[in-house]
Amino acid sequence: MTANDLFEQIKAKESFLCIGLDTDLQKIPSHLLDLEDPVFEFNKQIIDATSDLCVAYKPNIAFYESMGEKGWESLKKTIDYIPKDIFTIADAKRGDIGNTSKMYAKTFFETYNFDSVTVAPYMGSDSVTPFLEFKDKWAIILALTSNSGGLDFQITKDENGEMLYQKVLKTSKSYGENIMYVVGATRAESLKEIREIVPNHFLLVPGIGAQGGSLNDVAKYGMNNQCGLLVNSSRGIIYADSTKVFAIKAREQALDLQQKMKALLSSLL
């Protein structure tokens, strides 16, 4: 999927919502557990209820690979079920030397046909550029994350006063096209400065909802002339209810966010 394709979806749906499919057998409604594939059935109902409101889905790979072969099967069925005009993100946070990163890229781009993969850039260009060798596929590089431990390294300064996440942004943007960045919603105060470094890149922004990030602040400081944002909500949508009406409640939460996004997009669209 190209950046223009994604922007067309944002305009059509008046939304920049990404829904995280962090599907946990311990949290999904109990009436699904007797089914042959409860994870896929849960995801299927969430997708059916929300696909007209969001422009991206983001399965967190750990929730699937932790179940072994059956989890990978559930993931494949989920990706195959998502409408093809919706952007898909493998939240895998992979990153290794070149030949290993290439195998990770083949896994998610060829075997599972994701549009993008989250990538840890600690090993430099070797860990990113193999993901950029696939046509219309994306590497989403971790930059400034919303977890508290992210501050252990990401804001450390070098002798020139430059923070590590700033160096990541400045260096990696030269690796190639089709790069996005992860910037946590709880770091919204840094988005203005981040936009000065990467004005045209899409930003994947987790941390809205359960983690307390402000959608208004994210849009105020992070939006560019193609929106440039994919704001993710996971638990706040998919676990809005644990009964047989869970998909209806998930839709209500997604619709609430989409309506807020519509208002924020009004001046742009």
Nearest to 230 by CA among 116, 151, 127, 93: 116
Q: Is position 93 annotated as part of the catalytic site?
A: yes
User: Which of 76, 93, 173, 260 is flagged as catalytic?
Assistant: 93
**What are the angstrom distances between the C-alpha of 123 and each of 77, 168, 234, 266?**
32, 11, 28, 40
- Residues 28 and 220: their CA atoms lie apart, in Å, by 34
Reference 184, options 152, 153, 157, 209; nearest CA is 209
Separation of alpha carbons 48 and 51, rounded Å: 6
99: tokens are 């030949």
- To 10 degrees, the CA torsion angle through 202, 207, 209, 215? -40
Single-letter code of the amino acid located at 7: F
Which are the contacts of 24, defined by CB distance < 8 A and separation ≥ 6?
63
Cite the active site residues. Answer: 93
